[in-house]
Chains A and B, each alone.
Chain A
Amino acid sequence: NAGVMQNPRHLVRRRGQEARLRCSPMKGHSHVYWYRQLPEEGLKFMVYLQKENIIDESGMPKERFSAEFPKEGPSILRIQQVVRGDSAAYFCASSPIDNEQFFGPGTRLTVL
């Protein structure tokens, strides 16, 4: 029973490029969450999605960031025109209904 999968595990982008982070939830899980962990800071909620719906995006920066969870395929967190301050570990979690959230291994984004 595979856990939450994220790819890529490491991503390097230059300032101004786009970053796409992918998350495949655990089998049977229909809820996906994205969290960000900045260097020397705690985990912060970004967005909560169900299939084809954004339920809560209160933690998403207003510009350049977007997320989707299509009917087919993984959830995508997209960051346009990346800046150095976007360098962080991005974690995806999934849950069945509204129970315990299980985390993936994360994507470490480095912006040069």
Chain B
Amino acid sequence: EDQVTQSPEALRLQEGESSSLNCSYTVSGLRGLFWYRQDPGKGPEFLFTLYSAGEEKEKERLKATLTKKESFLHITAPKPEDSATYLCAGIKAAGNKLTFGGGTRVLVKP
């Protein structure tokens, strides 16, 4: 069965304290790995798609990387506005449905 697992479940950081979120997956025939940000009461906001091992993408303080078994979301010098739940999801080569992990709740304190 396809599975996406995120760790840790929750992360408390001081402003400026860099850290990494992990997303491990067992999705047969994976075509891509997506990262989203979700604020309370809102829909997921698209951040990145990674398609091949070794690929990296950056946006402001966020950088996503992909290996054959897992993906990392690095948050560099976070600010309080980076507080959110970060979701990763895999998509198979056949079909378009996303399989989501449980998310990592990030709280950045000033």
Contacts and interface: CB of A to CB of B under 8 A. Distances in A.
Partners in one complex: yes
Interface in B50-97: 87, 89, 95-97
A42 B103 contact: yes
A69 interface: no
A104 B87 CA distance: 15
Contacts of B101: 42
Contacts of B110: none
Interface in B23-47: 34, 36, 42-46
Interface stretch (A14-22, A53-61, A78-86): A53-61
Given A42-B103, A43-B87, A104 B96 contact: no
A28 B62 CA distance: 28
A101 B42 contact: no
Contact of B42 (A45, A56, A105): A105
7 tightest Cβ-Cβ pairs between the two chains A and B: A103-B43, A45-B97, A43-B100, A103-B44, A42-B102, A105-B43, A42-B100
Given A35-B100, A101-B34, A103-B36, 14 more contacts: A6-B43, A31-B96, A33-B96, A33-B98, A45-B99, A48-B96, A95-B96, A99-B49, A100-B34, A100-B46, A100-B49, A103-B46, A104-B43, A105-B42
